[in-house]
């Protein structure tokens, strides 16, 4: 049994959290948009049923913020729902398919009690509606803005609900903990640009991809950290030194490996740019 918690963020928004994932839901006038599908079809089904009963509305759209499994693999629980994603997500999913079966088999070896849940994952889904940069979902007088920016992955995007000043950030934000920058499509410069875009929005609450619900201040913390990392990496490469690590959160939930992978990736990314 996977424990899920439901947190009412504003009158029309919910955050769905567990140890392995976070998803969001926005209820408009006549329908619901769910942001990210959770890790398994089993958890996706439970979440969908709870949210539809809570808001007394149907789920019309499922929006995928990026292609990582903890945000994507519950998708088969959303039959009859329109699936939304950036164009780049389609490309990333296609690139991942040749190695997906081997990864599932390795996962089952490491976590055998989840074998049935893993076997239920269907990776043959299709996305109904894609967009390149920006898309708005309207329902009478209100709307939700979907924005692709890249960063954590090349397909990373977010959902913004201006009526209640809520941002559903996906893995652009790892709240109160080290962000993971180990994906091969990660681009720290795009991540910084995404933070700068978000800082221009009127936001009170941020539903992150991992960690607690936070305010816009957390976006600024991450923005400053990534900018400092970029500066320190460039200084290190220019002077032939080790990269100094700017102050940030202590190692918490994800463990030391997240910090190490992130710092290794950032250092290599800017080294490659420096050598160009």
Q: The domain 5-217: what is its CATH number?
A: 3.60.15.10
Q: What are the boundaries of each domain within the chain?
A: 5-217
pLDDT of the residue at 248: 87
Q: How many beta carbons lie within 10 A of that of residue 94, not counting itself?
A: 10
pLDDT of the residue at 231: 95
pLDDT of the residue at 125: 87
Provide the β-strand partners of residue 145.
136, 160
Residue 254, pLDDT > 60, answer no
The mean per-residue pLDDT over the stretch 5-26 comes to: 96
- Confidence label for 141 from pLDDT (cuts 50, 70 and 90): very high
The mean per-residue pLDDT over the stretch 230-241 comes to: 92
pLDDT of the residue at 273: 75
The mean per-residue pLDDT over the stretch 48-57 comes to: 98
| Among 70, 74, 69, residue whose Cα is nearest residue 59 | 74
The mean per-residue pLDDT over the stretch 51-62 comes to: 98
User: What one-character-per-residue DSSP string does 192-241 give?
Assistant: HHHHHHHHTS--SEEEEEES--B-HHHHHHHHHHHHHHHHHHHHHHHHT-
pLDDT of the residue at 112: 93
Q: Which of 45-49, 85-89, 270-274 has the lowest mean pLDDT?
A: 270-274
Instruction: Tally helices (H) and strands (E) across the chain.
Output: 7, 12
């Amino acid at each position: 049994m996977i424990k899920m918690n439901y947190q009412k963020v504003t009158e029309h928004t919910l955050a769905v959290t567990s140890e392995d994932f976070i998803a969001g839901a926005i209820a408009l006038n006549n329908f619901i948009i769910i942001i990210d599908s959770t890790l398994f079809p089993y958890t996706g089904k439970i979440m969908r049923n709870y949210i539809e009963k809570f808001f007394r509305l149907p789920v019309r759209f499922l929006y995928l913020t990026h292609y990582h499994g903890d945000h994507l693999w519950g998708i088969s629980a959303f039959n009859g729902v329109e699936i939304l994603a950036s164009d780049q997500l389609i490309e990333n999913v296609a690139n991942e398919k040749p190695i997906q079966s081997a990864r599932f088999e390795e996962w089952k070896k490491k976590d055998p009690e989840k074998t049935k849940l893993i076997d239920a994952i269907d990776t043959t889904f299709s996305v109904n509606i894609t967009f390149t940069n920006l898309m708005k979902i309207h329902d009478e007088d209100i709307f939700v803005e979907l924005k692709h920016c890249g960063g954590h992955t090349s397909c990373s995007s977010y959902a913004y609900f201006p009526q209640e000043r809520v941002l559903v950030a996906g893995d652009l934000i790892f709240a109160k903990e080290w962000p993971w920058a180990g994906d091969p499509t990660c681009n720290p410069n795009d991540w910084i640009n995404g933070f700068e875009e978000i800082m221009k929005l009127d936001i009170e609450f941020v539903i992150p991809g991992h960690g607690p619900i936070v305010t816009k201040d957390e976006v600024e913390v991450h923005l400053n950290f990534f900018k400092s990392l970029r500066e320190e990496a460039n200084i290190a490469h220019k002077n032939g030194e080790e990269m100094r690590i700017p102050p940030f959160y202590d190692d918490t939930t994800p463990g030391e490996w997240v910090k190490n992978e992130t710092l290794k990736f950032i250092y290599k990314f800017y080294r490659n740019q420096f050598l160009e």
